[in-house]
Amino acid sequence: MAPRAKRRRTNGARRRKPLREVTANQRWLHLSAGAVSVRTTLQSVWRRTSLVSSYSSFLLSVALTVERLAVGTAADMAVIHHVIQLFSMNTVCFMSLLQIWTRIDHLLYDITAEEEDQPQQFTRHTGLQLDDLSDPQAHKMTHFYHGQLVWLYRLFDLDGFLLSIDETKVPLDTGHMVNNTPTRYLIDPQELFLFTLTKVATGRTNQSIVDEYFGGDYTRWSYGYRWMLKYIDQRYEDILGHQGLSRFVKEFPRFHRAIERFVQKEHTREQLDGSWIVIPGLIYLPMYLFGFVDDSLYRSNTPFSGPRGDYVGAARKEEYDETQRAVYTGYKKFHGIKVETVFLPNGITTVYGPVSARRGDAGLLQMSNLNAFLAWIQYGVFFFSGAWVVYSIFGDSAFSIGLKCCRLYYRTFTRGDQLSEEEKKVNNAPKAVRITIGKNYATIGNIFRICESPEAFKLAKKNPYSLEQLRVCHLLTNCYVCLNGDQASCDSTFGCTPPKLEDYLQL
């Protein structure tokens, strides 16, 4: 990473350079709109004061010359002395103002010798620890409170992992050699934990996060962030993936009753004429549902979009066409990645993917083999009223039909056929219920802002980590729901309490 330009710590202004070395844009880009206006006004007054001061000095020198050469009466000499005194006062006044404007400009926009001697590339390392944060600071940085961060850090067991490899700090190999010795960084586990959560929560760049909170060299944090994502992803792979549904099999009947209670409620709706109608709920839910399935798309950068060489007229990279098509969705008209999510009434989700956004919902369902997996984990488990029962997930019409454990809306297959009133009523009831999975996607984007930035998902790089990053955001959202609850688990919706955090993260 190129060294950062030296700036004043008081106002962020860049140090002065000769005008021949700095373009007009570079002289102003580091200032805000307000600062640009203030500096423009200051320098305009400074220039005019300097001009008037020069004129006054010139007129004073002329008056002094006239006094030396003049020969006349006492009255004439008195007038000349009065003019000289006036020019002298004006010169002293404007010279003083010029010194004031120069001093103000120096204080605001010049860098002192002490700051000039400080390192250019990074600020002082702060050694930030969990106990250094108050609740407001912790929530601002990570969207978790201090006590929740301490509990989450303990369950991630970074200290235990480091103890198993005889280390006290996270060792990060850089892949470089110095004097035939491999180099590596050593980062405190609490610092790395806080940095990772701050980055996914705020979506800010490494440089801005380091400058404001952590200090030290920028480069080591890019290594540490990638290591932390892969550590969490590999540690909780069987919990976040669809295989994590096997931990909730015994609760499928409870989830079904919660969904059924919701669709049995009456709802009131306002009409265009201002009147209100009551929409009665279902007598019972004719499908054994325990959750909902949906897919979500996330924008990414355009892979291999640059030229093949750093020169004018360079050709594009050979692999750009096929690679870009591989992750392009014609439905949304952008490049990205896609995840398949199963949402449970207690607010917990499981994830398959991410995969290319080019895949449709039905194709992704076949890739995940979710239908066969749900049938397998429920084989011979539920027996009610003399029959074996298999619970299903509910999806929209984009998913495959005719599956045992994935139910869709009722639909017709012959032109001219119409759904019965009962089938239409059953179709309308789950629509309000499926909103909860959309709210869960919104929660992920609101809490972890990095998911909303295409630049956060960089594909086709030397060390990509976009897939691990997205899965970790989904895992942390589940942790957030365990600690704080969500709209789906509240009493007005399903009323299913999320599991305790230690139970959810138990390996």
Half-sphere exposure for 88 (CA within 13 Å, toward CB):
8
Q: DSSP string spanning 361-387? A: HHHHHHHHTHHHHHHHHTTTTEEETTE
pTM: 0.75
Mark 388-397 as b/e (b = at least 16 C-beta within 10 Å): eeebbbbbee
User: What was the pLDDT predicted at 374?
Assistant: 93
| Number of residues assigned to the chain | 507
Q: How far apart are CA 22 and CA 115, in angstroms?
A: 21
User: What was the pLDDT predicted at 427?
Assistant: 79
Q: How far apart are CA 86 and CA 117, in angstroms?
A: 46
Kindly state whether residues 195 and 251 are assigned to the same domain.
Answer: no
Q: How far apart are CA 204 and CA 201, in angstroms?
A: 8
Q: How far apart are CA 39 and CA 33, in angstroms?
A: 10
User: What was the pLDDT predicted at 202?
Assistant: 92
Closest among 450, 455, 448, 445 to 300, alpha carbons compared: 455
Q: How many CB atoms lie within 10 A of CB 5?
A: 11
Q: Are 370 and 363 in contact (CB under 8 A)?
A: no
Q: How far apart are CA 171 and CA 297, in angstroms?
A: 34
Q: How far apart are CA 232 and CA 505, in angstroms?
A: 11
Q: How far apart are CA 391 and CA 499, in angstroms?
A: 21
Kindly state whether residues 262 and 365 are assigned to the same domain.
Answer: yes
Is 2 inside a domain boundary? no
Q: How far apart are CA 380 and CA 383, in angstroms?
A: 8
Q: How far apart are CA 119 and CA 350, in angstroms?
A: 46
Is 228 inside a domain boundary? yes
Is 155 inside a domain boundary? yes
Kindly state whether residues 387 and 260 are assigned to the same domain.
Answer: yes
Say whether 5 sits in a helix, a strand or coil: coil
Kindly state whether residues 492 and 438 are assigned to the same domain.
Answer: yes
Residue 277 belongs to domain spanning? 245-301+335-504
Kindly state whether residues 68 and 152 are assigned to the same domain.
Answer: no
Q: Are 34 and 42 in contact (CB under 8 A)?
A: no
Question: What distance lies between CA 401 and its chain's CA centroid?
Answer: 36
Domain count, the chain: 3
Long-range contacts of 284-288 (CB under 8 A, 24+ apart): 284/260, 285/256, 285/259, 285/260, 285/429, 286/426, 287/392, 287/394, 287/407, 288/256, 288/389, 288/390, 288/391, 288/392
Kindly state whether residues 250 and 363 are assigned to the same domain.
Answer: yes
Kindly state whether residues 452 and 351 are assigned to the same domain.
Answer: yes
Closest among 407, 401, 451, 443 to 297, alpha carbons compared: 451
User: What was the pLDDT predicted at 494?
Assistant: 83
Burial class (CB in 10 A: 0-12, 13-18, 19+), 137: middle
Say whether 144 sits in a helix, a strand or coil: coil
Is 100 inside a domain boundary? yes
Query: 72: Cβ–Cβ under 8 A, 6 or more apart, which residues?
Result: none
Per-residue pLDDT of the chain (507 residues; tens, 9 = 90+): 334 445 555 555 555 544 444 444 444 444 555 555 677 777 788 788 888 888 888 888 887 887 777 766 777 677 777 778 887 888 888 888 888 887 877 777 666 666 666 655 557 788 899 999 999 999 999 999 999 999 999 999 999 999 999 999 999 888 888 888 888 889 999 999 999 999 999 999 888 898 889 888 888 898 999 999 999 999 999 999 999 999 999 999 999 998 888 888 887 888 888 888 888 888 888 889 999 998 999 998 888 877 777 777 777 777 677 888 888 888 888 899 999 999 999 989 999 989 998 988 888 998 999 999 999 999 888 888 778 889 999 888 888 777 888 888 887 777 777 888 788 888 777 777 888 788 888 888 889 999 888 888 888 887 888 899 999 999 999 999 999 988 776 767 788 889 999 999 998
Is 10 inside a domain boundary? no
In the listed set 116, 146, 174, which residue is the last one of a domain according to the structure?
116
Kindly state whether residues 288 and 395 are assigned to the same domain.
Answer: yes
Kindly state whether residues 387 and 296 are assigned to the same domain.
Answer: yes
Kindly state whether residues 355 and 423 are assigned to the same domain.
Answer: yes
Q: How far apart are CA 375 and CA 218, in angstroms?
A: 49
Kindly state whether residues 256 and 227 are assigned to the same domain.
Answer: no
Q: What's the whole-number average pLDDT of the chain?
A: 83
Q: Are 503 and 483 in contact (CB under 8 A)?
A: no
The neighbouring-strand residues paired with 310 are none
Is 142 inside a domain boundary? yes
Kindly state whether residues 64 and 171 are assigned to the same domain.
Answer: no
